[in-house]
Amino acid sequence: YWSYDFLSKSPIGKERWITDKLRYGYDDILSSSEVISLVSDKYKCYCEFKEYYKRDALGCYTNEDYTDFVEFVKKHPSFIYKPLCAFSGKGIKKITLSENLIQDFFNASIRTGSFIVEEIIEQHKDFEYIHPQSINTIRVTTFTLNNRVEILATSLRMGVGNSIADNAGNGGIFSSIDPQSGIIVCPASNYIGGKYIKHPDTNVVIPGIKIPSWDELKSTIKEVASKLNNKYNEATLISWDFAYSTKGWIIVEVNTGGGWRILQAPQKEPLKEQLYKLIDEWTNYNEKR
């Protein structure tokens, strides 16, 4: 209601938006169980697209992974910890361990469930100025059918305060990007209706920011979306989170449909009609197969 200003909209006006109640149904319709299983496991997804992550990572599922964990920490004493199946930035921590603390940390963590540890991303200076404390990312949602990749929407996600995560569900802010030019076209929003022309911590003016190497990012997105589509031979609705690092554009995380408020709310641009046209196309394609 706050994100889309539903209080001032008629029932017909509300129908134009992709709401959270509907989004999970679209994921089930448009992505096979194999694809959903892949992107629901952060380490499984990392192994699938490792060349696009461009950093080390390790998934820990049982006590048998302890030896590999020790070797990872010796190489990366500071790292990012994430619960494997969490979402909205929940549980993400930056950890630094000395050798005498490795076993205690592993034992305590594995008791709470499986997790992934990742090499820390070194953000490019042309991007970190927006909010240096977090890894600022680009959310790109794609619909892929028969190896044709459609970019539905793109957004910039930024952390706030001392948070290392940019997730909107963890207090971050987000703004819409023009998919052709790579320029931010509106003030940022948050999940409770806040509006930000300037970033609240750095005072960087958000509308007008030009995302660096935008064409390279779009090309990479289409390449990786095509690979997923080719492997499973199914229509896929995927949200890709990319960061601009000192190694270029790299995957941070992959999700199924993703949070549609991040894509629709800042510019007040409903995407339901556009998505339904693609679903109709997918239906017709299946009927002909």
Segment 252-287, tens digit of pLDDT: 999 887 778 888 888 888 999 998 898 888 888 777
- What tens digit of pLDDT does each residue of 13-69 get? 999 998 888 877 787 777 778 888 888 889 999 999 999 999 999 999 999 999 999
Lowest mean pLDDT among 96-110, 194-208, 217-231, 272-286: 272-286
Whether 233 has a pLDDT exceeding 80, the answer reads no
The pLDDT, as a whole number, for residue 230 is: 85
Q: What is the pTM of this model?
A: 0.91
* CA distances in angstroms from 101 to 96, 108, 157, 167, 227, listed in the order given: 10, 11, 33, 29, 40
- What tens digit of pLDDT does each residue of 82-98 get? 998 766 567 888 999 99
The pLDDT, as a whole number, for residue 86 is: 63
The pLDDT, as a whole number, for residue 84 is: 83
- Dist CA 148 CA 271 (whole Å): 19
- Dist CA 262 CA 108 (whole Å): 34
Furthest-apart CA pair in the chain: how many Å? 62
- Residues 267 and 186 sit within 8 Å (Cβ to Cβ): yes
- Dist CA 101 CA 98 (whole Å): 6
Nearest to 54 by CA among 111, 124, 127, 2: 124
- Dist CA 278 CA 202 (whole Å): 39
Q: Are strands 188-189 and 195-196 parallel, antiparallel or unpaired?
A: antiparallel
The pLDDT, as a whole number, for residue 193 is: 78
The pLDDT, as a whole number, for residue 89 is: 60
Q: Which residues pair with 243 in a beta bridge?
A: 137, 250
Across the chain, mean pLDDT equals 89
CA dihedral 274, 276, 281, 284 (to 10 degrees): -170
Q: Which residues pair with 44 in a beta bridge?
A: none
Write out the two tokens for 206: 């958000």
- Dist CA 233 CA 59 (whole Å): 27
Whether 222 has a pLDDT exceeding 70, the answer reads yes
Long-range CB pairs of 31-34 (<8 Å, 24+ gap) are 31/234, 31/235, 31/236, 31/237, 31/238, 31/256, 32/232, 32/234, 34/232
